[in-house]
Amino acid sequence: MKQDGYYIGIDVGSVSTNLVIIDENDKVIEKLYLRTSGQPINVLIKGMQLLAEKFGKHIHIKGVGTTGSGRQLASVIVGADIVKNEITSHAVATQKTVPGVKTILEIGGQDSKIIILKNGVVNDFAMNTVCAAGTGSFLDRQASRLEIPIEEFGGYALRSKSPVRIAGRCAVFAESDMIHKQQTGHSTEDIVNGLCQALVRNYLNNLAKGKDIEEPIAFQGGVAANVGIVAAFENQLKKKIIIPEHYDVMGAYGAALIAKKEATTSNFKTSFHGFGVANHDYRAKSVECQDCSNACEVIKILSDNTAIARWGDRCGKWSQQTAAV
Amino acid sequence: MKVTFPHMGNMYVPIKVLLDTSGIDYVMPPYCTNEPLELGIRHSPEFACLPFKTILGDFIYGVDNGADFILFAGGRGQCRLGYYGDLQAEILKSLDYKVKFVCLDLTNLTPKEILNRIKPLTEGKSILNIIKGIIYAVKTVYMVDNLNELARYTRCREIIKGQTDRLISQFHNLAQKANGYKNISDIINLTKKSLRQIPVDKKYKPVKVSIVGEMYVSTHPNINFQLEKKLGNMGVEVQNNLSISHWITDHFVRKLLPIKFKKEPHEAGKEYMKTNDIGGHGIHTIGCSILSAKNNFDGVIHLYPFTCMPEIIAQCAFSEVQNKYDIPIMTLIIDEMTGEAGYMTRLEAFIDMLKMKSEVATTNN
């Protein structure tokens, strides 16, 4: 088993941190979906520990890719070969699982995106701008307010007889709209369904504005598990929605695929620090640099009290040291 | 009288030359810190756009540090900029600042009228020095923009990354401390010389991106999270369609000449907007995007401050422009957020997409 290569993909997102291991045939042999809970470092270490216990001794890692909003952080901790943005990672992963995909809908914790592909290349994309109304965290918040486990949220929507209309434009207004409808006596099912409809309406009006949504359409990200949202998409688009097999870890899968491609084409030696990273203690410290009037807030990442990375400086003095290490 | 002025990109360099040469005393707010921004946000109406807030912050900083005269360049037209000067003057008054606030409406003023309005500043100063100051300042505008142009060329092509950035930040450090045309132009020329000596990969074919949108956020690196620098370091060649020298050429130089010039971006933009002016850079933004497609740029990045009316209208035309002229356009909206992660993701993804597209295009040919 030792001679076969494996690749790790890590997606550190705002809500979940996902890790996958793929083999030489691009098959996912392990995937982890963990809640970030505002502590990306701890969760990442925990994920690495879980992988180490199961695979640490048996497999040989040939490449590591990171993505997500915490991709830089993850990269210095585990020693990544590739650091990629989420759009590219998602596009790569979906093309692998849904051949010929033309439209990718992705709704994550803080971001929602639409990716349009033409002839196998990303041709256009959009991400939500200043508002977070149409994202997973908002659904999460509403589920906990209504005391419904997020896993059952979509089921509620499907049981609804007639959805109530909820303003989907802004998270704050949507919430007060929901509370208002709830106080007038609408059933929870109808309100949840109304919310799903509103979220999809907002997504299509905002992100998909002026774009041709052509089949095959893949829907991924944590929110794709919500059957209520899927139904709302199919209903409003009048098209079939495909949920890829690893819909919840597509970003991480894409990062692993990109790392593998890079490893095979440029034949590098991985900078992976090994599964041993899980045994170290990591901390982030923020310091205000006093060297000039910019007064940048510099973030220092410490591993057992030695600084392994710094960023946040405008002049590049600190971040360049990281590159040299 | 001691004057203060707001920052906008490299504008402080020619303004310093002007004031130094004319012998006018001034307070310059710090170039790149958050203090003025925080002051501005605290005293601005919530609905105002970011430029309003940062400019007000610069004023307050200046007045706190001894200035008693404010010179602001506003404009007419349909956008809110038209009443911003008055609003800022009122806010300063309500904060009990004793300061003379002169707002120049640059859309219609002739140079003579401008001189009339700033009389309290120029009283007792030699007319010759003021005229000299204006000529030097205009020259400096073109020199600085030229320097930036060169930096855009070297940054994406340099073999050792970071050399251009170091020279440019050194330039700003020196320029902020230097006084007078002679010293400042020496610094510009020296930087230019050093930039030319940076070893570059001449065969490198960079992805080319054109920046369009609202002028303040497009030219002020502290507000647009150093967009040009970030793109350049990703190996992208940038063209910024908004610079002070473009603006001066359009508003003053061409107006003074007897020949009528057609503003190309305006003409091109009229395809989607059947009016002459919606204020701000609305038509200019659309026009520049179309021209960028015609001039074989790979993509366009559109920048505007949150709630900017003319740019929101311009943005509506983009899905048509993208399809008809086959050019990807990405809009980034700038507000008080200082977290850069979201912008970086979008930028990286956009550039990745442009690179992949151009790769596919070259293999197909």
Q: What count of residues does chain B have?
A: 365
Best A73, A89, A130 residue to mutate vs chain B (most B CBs within 10 Å): A130
Question: CB-based contact (8 Å) between A124 and chain B?
Answer: yes
Whether A2 shows a pLDDT value over 60: the answer reads: no
Nearest CA in chain A to B358: A121
Search chain A and give the residue with CA nearest B332: A129
User: Are the Cβ atoms of B345 and A211 closer than 8 angstroms?
Assistant: no
Among chain A residues, CA nearest to B318: A210
Query: What topology does CATH give the domain B2-134?
Result: Rossmann fold (3.40.50)
Q: For B277-333, what is each residue's pLDDT tens digit?
A: 677 788 889 999 999 999 999 999 999 998 888 898 898 898 889 889 989 999 998
φ, ψ of residue A121 in degrees (nearest 5): -125, 145
Annotated domain spans of chain B: 2-134, 205-364
Report the alpha-carbon distance of residue B73 to residue B101 in Å, rounded: 11
ipTM of the complex: 0.76
Q: What is the pLDDT of residue A324?
A: 40
Between CA B111 and CA B104 the distance in angstroms is 11
B356 touches chain A (CB under 8 A): yes
**Using CB atoms, which residue from A123, A127, A320 is nearest to B162?**
A320
Percentage of residues of chain A with pLDDT beyond 90:
19
Please, which residues 210-229 of chain A have a Cβ atom closer than 8 Å to chain B? 210-211
* Measured distance CA(A309)–CA(A325) in Å, rounded: 8
**Cβ–Cβ below 8 Å for A88 and B360:** no
Chain B neighbours among A 277-296 (CB < 8 Å)?
A: 293-295
Mutate to test the interface with B, among A83, A294, A313 (most CBs of B within 10 A): A294
Average pLDDT over residues A284-289: 80
Question: What is the average pLDDT across A242-258?
Answer: 92
Fold category of B205-364 in CATH? Rossmann fold (3.40.50)
The pLDDT value given to residue A293: 67
Chain B contact present for A245, CB below 8 A: no
State phi, psi for B66 to the nearest 5 degrees.
105, 0
- Local structure of B131: helix, strand or coil: helix
**Cis, peptide link before residue A216, omega less than 30° from 0:** yes
With a cut of 50, list the residues of chain B below it in pLDDT.
Answer: none
**Whether A322 contacts chain B with CB within 8 A:** no
Q: How far is CA B31 from CA B5, B11, B27, B92, B177, in A?
A: 11, 11, 12, 21, 11
Chain B CB contacts of A111 below 8 Å:
342, 345
Radius of gyration of chain A (CA): 21
Residue A132: which pLDDT band, with cuts at 50, 70 and 90? low
CB pair distance less than 8 Å for B32 and A294: yes
Cα separation, A170 vs A133, in Å, equals 5
Distance CA B231, CA B220 (A): 15
d(CA B98, CA B101): 9
* pLDDT of A15: 80
Q: CA-CA distance, A279 to A56, in Å (whole number)?
A: 13
Kindly list the residues from chain A whose CB atom is less than 8 angstroms away from the CB atom of residue B318.
210
Q: What is the mean pLDDT of residues A189-208?
A: 86
**Most confident residue range from A52-61, A300-309, B175-184:** B175-184
Same fold, B2-134 and B205-364: yes
More confident residue, A147 or A312: A147
Q: Give chain A's domains with CATH numbers.
A: 5-89+251-279 (3.30.420.40), 99-243 (3.30.420.40), 282-324 (no CATH)
